[in-house]
Amino acid sequence: MQVDYSLAALRAWRLEFAGRVGLVPTMGALHAGHLRLVEQAQAENDAVVVSIFVNPTQFAATEDLSSYPRTLEADLALLARAGVNRVLVPTPEQVYPPRFQTYVNVEQVSKGLEGASRPTHFRGVTTVVLKLFNLVQPHRAYFGQKDAQQVVVIRQMVRDLNVPVDIRVVPTVREPDGLALSSRNVYLTPSERELAPMLYRALQAAADAYAHTARDPQHLRALMHARLSEVGALHVDYISVADAQTLEELYSPQAAPMLVSLAVQIGKPRLLDNCLLPLELNTLEGLTANLGGS
């Protein structure tokens, strides 16, 4: 496995490499969710590049940039064991050199949900992802359903800017008790960790109601609020039932697929989770297939 600490080294390899390239962008502190993206990328490409970069522009000044978990040595060992070809570990100074001043902003679908609480977040994500696409020039890039809005935002960017990358969406990997794997789960104290599967249980309550034809979004949101308010130590940031393609919040039942998502603060970390209804959809991939780049 080759580890590139410089953009130039990666570019030199890419200019020579003629096969299909899959890119897995990450912020490190790798877990089995990231490895699932890697596995799928390996199955579909001749070489896989994993990037590890804690992207400063997607953190607001008040957020956890400096304390975000960094476990580079363990990450590299995991990726070597998984048989990854190349890992790109750039410095912030290389990615954002002095006088950097160009950002990508996807206007509508970046605004709600995460965007409402984190207004500059997606601008940072789309900017770094487009830079990675330009540097690595992958045929396919792999993202987790766990960050569903990120998928919608990136697919929109790819469509709007004619970026020739196929966006693949990988199902959420969970702990046995339902908690979605996340690098931020390490912040949970043992007692908070016990409460954390409540996010998944609230989603399951909504999915059960939906399966029994209780499909009114207002009802589903109320149901999830009720489940979460049973637990005092949680602070609900949002609970959303939205159109899965436009991310517009829904107020009456509709036949089209819905994205049910929530953000909850438990102690230090703010945890996210989501599901699609009907549940059989599993990921946004099929739903947004008509948005592919050209």
Among 104, 180, 223, 242, binds ligand AMP (CB under 6 A): 180
Task: Tell me how far, at minimum, the Cβ of 180 lies from ligand AMP, in Å.
Answer: 5
Query: Considering the rule CB under 6 A, would residue 34 count as an interface residue with ligand AMP?
Result: yes
Q: Which stretch binds ligand AMP (CB under 6 A): 97-105, 113-121, 177-185, 248-256?
A: 177-185
* Cα 138 to Cα 50, 116, 189, distances in angstroms: 11, 31, 39
**CA 234, CA 36: separation in Å to the nearest integer?**
29
Write the single-letter amino acid at 32: A
Among 26, 45, 110, 149, binds ligand AMP (CB under 6 A): 26
Query: Considering the rule CB under 6 A, would residue 127 count as an interface residue with ligand AMP?
Result: no
The alpha carbon of 236 is separated from its chain's Cα centroid by a whole number of angstroms, namely 19
Among 146, 168, 227, 270, binds ligand AMP (CB under 6 A): 146
| Residue with Cβ nearer ligand AMP (181 or 263) | 181
Query: Considering the rule CB under 6 A, would residue 270 count as an interface residue with ligand AMP?
Result: no
Task: Tell me how far, at minimum, the Cβ of 197 lies from ligand AMP, in Å.
Answer: 13
**CA 88, CA 143: separation in Å to the nearest integer?**
17
Query: Considering the rule CB under 6 A, would residue 269 count as an interface residue with ligand AMP?
Result: no
Query: Considering the rule CB under 6 A, would residue 36 count as an interface residue with ligand AMP?
Result: yes
**CA 1, CA 42: separation in Å to the nearest integer?**
14
Query: Considering the rule CB under 6 A, would residue 37 count as an interface residue with ligand AMP?
Result: yes
Q: Give one word for 99, left, alpha or beta, with left for phi > 0 and alpha for psi -120 to 50.
A: left
| Residue with Cβ nearer ligand AMP (151 or 206) | 151
Query: Considering the rule CB under 6 A, would residue 155 count as an interface residue with ligand AMP?
Result: no
**# residues near ligand AMP by CB under 6 A:** 17
Lookup: tokens for 271: 């945890």
| Residue with Cβ nearer ligand AMP (29 or 195) | 29
- CB 87 within 8 Å of CB 3: yes
Query: Considering the rule CB under 6 A, would residue 173 count as an interface residue with ligand AMP?
Result: yes
**CA 220, CA 274: separation in Å to the nearest integer?**
13
Q: Find all residues with CB under 8 Å of 137, minimum gap 6, and list them.
A: 14, 21
Q: Find all residues with CB under 8 Å of 83, minimum gap 6, and list them.
A: 1, 42
Whether 34 is catalytic is yes
Query: Considering the rule CB under 6 A, would residue 22 count as an interface residue with ligand AMP?
Result: no
Q: Give one word for 105, left, alpha or beta, with left for phi > 0 and alpha for psi -120 to 50.
A: beta
Among 49, 130, 181, 271, binds ligand AMP (CB under 6 A): 181
**CA 226, CA 233: separation in Å to the nearest integer?**
14
Q: Which stretch binds ligand AMP (CB under 6 A): 108-116, 138-146, 223-231, 245-253?
A: 138-146
- CB 2 within 8 Å of CB 85: yes
Among 33, 124, 197, 217, binds ligand AMP (CB under 6 A): 33
Query: Considering the rule CB under 6 A, would residue 183 count as an interface residue with ligand AMP?
Result: yes
Lookup: tokens for 20: 């299909």
Query: Considering the rule CB under 6 A, would residue 273 count as an interface residue with ligand AMP?
Result: no
Give which of 137, 117, 67 is closest to 240, Cα–Cα. Answer: 117
Lookup: tokens for 31: 């877990």
Instruction: Just list the catalytic residues.
Output: 34
Site residues for ligand AMP per CB under 6 A: 26-27, 33-34, 36-37, 143-144, 146-147, 170, 172-173, 180-183
